[in-house]
Each structure stands twice: as C-alpha cells, then as structure tokens.
Amino acid sequence: MNKPIASVARTNEILKKFDLYAKKGYGQNFIIEPGIVRKIAENAQGDNQCIIEIGPGIGALTEQLALRAKRVIAYEIDDRLIDVLAYSLSEYNNVEIIHEDFLQMDFDQLIKELKKQYEKIVVCANLPYYITTPILFKIFESKEEVDCITVMVQKEVADRFCANKSTKDYNALSVITQYLYDAKTIMKIPRTIFNPKPNIDSAVVQFNKKSEKNTVDNEAAFFEFVKGCFKQRRKTLYNNLKELGKQPEVIKKCIDDAGLSETIRAEACDLDKFIELYNLWREL
C-alpha cells in the first residue's frame, strides 16, 4: 500500500505527475500532515455509513474517509482534479467522485435517496474558505437533515459558529447555527500543515443534530429576522429593527414585551431571546 496521500512525499509525487498547483480561485491548499487528516476522519462519525465530502482536492481526506465509511460521495468542481482523484484513489471502490459544483446540486434529493440505503449520513470536508458559509447554509437549510457535519474552516469563522452572546465573535451566523445544531470546535489546525501555506490558521468544527429541536413557524423568516437584528453591529436592536419595516411604536412594544431595553444591541441576546423576539414580532 502506498504512503498516505497527505504525506509530503505522496503529495509531491501526485502534484509532479499531473503538473498541478493549488488554484487560488478555488481556495485550494493541500494538507501535508497525515496524522491531522486521520484524526478528522476518526471524528467524522461515519464508520460503516455514508459520508459526503465537498472539495476533495487530491484525495488526502477522502482516502481516510474511505478506510472507514461504507460509501464516500465527493463533489469536486475543478476539472483538473478529476483524473488526479481517479489515480490517487484507485485502490478504493467505495468512493464516488462527482464532477459538479456542490452549490448547484440538489442536496435535498440526494439525502432523501441516501436515507433509503443508510442508517446515518454525515458530511466531512476541508471546505474552500472563500465559500464556506454558502456551502454550510445549503446544508443547514436543507429539508433533509444529515446526522453530523465535521468541517475544517478558517479559525475566525469557527469562532463565530461557536460564539456565545456578548462576545466579539457573536453574530447572526452564531445564532442561526445554534438554532439548528450543537456546534463545537474539536481541533485547531496550524497553517504550517498546508502546501502552499495560507495566511490564516484553521479549525475543525463539528455540528451535531440537537436532541430537542427548536421550532418557529417559519425558519427562513426567522433567519432573515436574526440577520436584520445584526445588520449594523454598532446600532441598537431598536434601530436595526426599524429597517425591517414596522412602525416605531410596534418595535418599541416588541422590545418591551421581551423584557429588553431600547438601548440593547443584538449581540446581548441569546438564542432563546431571539426566538421570543421573533414570535412577538410576528404577532404584532
């Protein structure tokens, strides 16, 4: 068996064979530390199940997932990497490479079909940093839930996902994420394990389904409401809510009924308070 794809020697061999370089436009940085990749795969909760990967690159994480999963479905947008992946992952017959933009595919339909075949479906990926949020929100907002999401992202984005109220990283993304999942940072990743080395550090965040799901009458409307509350961080909640189209006296009543001061900012409200505010907002 060959050395792991994430080893320096194997990565260099693959890059040289295919005359490859990391494409900045696709946010590519190749991992060259097998132990890190192995640990991410071990934490993915996908043993003997189906794992979906986005942006497999040259297959470093894919390989480790394939050693554990019953099936790996990997979406790759970069034309140059399809032949590379066929070569690097030729030993694994449980890997399916799909040459498609993940943001354009029908995720609901995929998960619906996979649920007929597998007890558990998880997502595990080293996400391209320039489209981390669109990819995750495509998964978050799907009508068909996955059981667990384990992704490597930019450290400052990881901090926002897991932030508590009244901290500098807390924003609409924090609230929406925490409405949907229990989020936690499980690994911190130094920039030195990549080729080429990026200008930022990374972290691996895991999102697990909540044991008790939060409910509002319209999740899409709730998410837009939360985004509106944070629209201008330096403004008060009252001033941000004025942008959403209701009369000042209605906004004042909503804030008063929630037991809040008119001078409070959105960052001081936790998830439960946002749900309460949203429900009051819908009623007025």
Domains, the chain, with CATH or none: 8-209 (3.40.50.150), 219-283 (1.10.8.100)
- pLDDT per residue as tens digits for the range 89-132: 999 999 999 999 999 999 999 999 999 999 999 999 999 888 99
Buried b (16+ CB within 10 A) or exposed e, 180-200: bbebeeebebeeebbeeeeee
Residue 27: pLDDT band (50, 70, 90) is low
**SS3 at position 265:** coil
Beta-strand runs (E) in the chain: 30-31, 50-54, 71-76, 95-99, 121-126, 148-154, 181-189, 194-195, 202-209
Residue 29 labeled ligand binder: yes
Q: Are 240 and 229 in contact (CB under 8 A)?
A: yes
Assess whether pLDDT exceeds 90 at residue 278.
yes
Residue 156: pLDDT band (50, 70, 90) is very high
- pLDDT per residue as tens digits for the range 15-24: 999 998 766 6
Whole-Å CA distances, 218 to 90, 224, 273, 282? 45, 10, 16, 10
pTM, to two decimals: 0.91
Residue 29: pLDDT band (50, 70, 90) is confident
Residue 69: pLDDT band (50, 70, 90) is very high
Task: Give the tokens for residue 207.
Answer: 């999102």
Residue 42 labeled ligand binder: no
The label of the residue with tokens 């995720």 reads 107
Count other Cβ atoms within 10 Å, centred on residue 254: 23
Assess whether pLDDT exceeds 90 at residue 76.
yes
Residue 30: pLDDT band (50, 70, 90) is confident
Mean pLDDT, range 236-243, rounded to an integer: 96
Residue 55 labeled ligand binder: yes
End-to-end CA distance of the chain: 66
Mean pLDDT, range 45-67, rounded to an integer: 97
Mean pLDDT, range 153-163, rounded to an integer: 95
Q: Give CA–CA dist 151/172, Å, rounded.
A: 19
**SS3 at position 266:** helix
DSSP conformational letter for 1 = -
Q: Are 144 and 114 in contact (CB under 8 A)?
A: no
Residue 97 labeled ligand binder: no
Mean pLDDT, range 130-144, rounded to an integer: 91
pLDDT of residue 53: 99
Q: What percent of the chain is modeled with pLDDT above 90? A: 86
DSSP conformational letter for 61 = H
Task: Give the tokens for residue 127.
Answer: 């996400």
- pLDDT per residue as tens digits for the range 183-210: 999 999 999 999 888 889 999 999 998 8
**SS3 at position 181:** strand
Helix H or strand E segment including 98: strand 95-99
Assess whether pLDDT exceeds 70 at residue 25.
no
Residue 65: pLDDT band (50, 70, 90) is very high
Amino acid (one-letter) located at 52: I
